[in-house]
């Protein structure tokens, strides 16, 4: 048994939740924030049998693809303005950060 923790952009979370349910992966969804853009994320917790981990990772890869997004930088406040870029820039967003952890025991009550 493994615990798969997947952190995805909010943009991908509903589509991923639908696909997890459709493919019979039980999951818990948590709102989270962080990363480079300080944008909303969703963290999925999935208890998965060892034999289905690769299937879940493939589903994550297919659902949470990278894409380009234009972002307007935040004006530096009290920081070093030397590295400030005063115009919108294209950055790569999306994808998933995934952790696969071994589970010693699993109970459902």
CATH number at residue 66: 3.30.70.120
pLDDT confidence of residue 108: 83
Residue 18 lies in a domain: yes
Number of domain units in the chain:
1
Residue 78 lies in a domain: no
Domain span holding position 19 = 2-71+88-102
pLDDT confidence of residue 69: 61
Residue 27 lies in a domain: yes
Residue 82 lies in a domain: no
| Cα torsion through 89, 90, 96, 99, rounded to 10 | -50
Residues present in the chain in total: 109
Residue 9 lies in a domain: yes
pLDDT confidence of residue 43: 95
| Cα torsion through 25, 27, 32, 34, rounded to 10 | -30
pLDDT confidence of residue 2: 97
Where the chain has pLDDT below 50, the residues are none
State the CB neighbour count (10 A cutoff) for residue 46: 20
Cα–Cα distance measured from residue 75 to residue 57, given in angstroms and rounded to the nearest whole number:
38
pLDDT confidence of residue 38: 63
Q: In the chain, count of helices (H) and strands (E)?
A: 2, 6
pLDDT confidence of residue 106: 86
pLDDT confidence of residue 101: 98
Residue 37 lies in a domain: yes
């Amino acid at each position: 048994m493994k615990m798969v923790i997947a952190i995805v952009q909010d943009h991908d979370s509903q589509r991923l939740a639908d696909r997890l349910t459709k493919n019979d992966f039980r999951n818990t969804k948590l709102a989270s924030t962080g990363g480079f853009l300080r944008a909303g994320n969703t963290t999925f917790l999935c208890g998965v049998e060892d034999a289905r981990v690769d299937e879940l990772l493939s589903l994550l890869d297919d659902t949470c693809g990278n894409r380009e997004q234009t972002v307007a930088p935040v004006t530096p406040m009290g920081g070093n303005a030397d590295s400030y870029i005063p115009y919108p820039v294209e950055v790569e967003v999306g994808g998933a950060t995934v952790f696969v952890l071994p589970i010693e025991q699993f109970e459902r009550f």
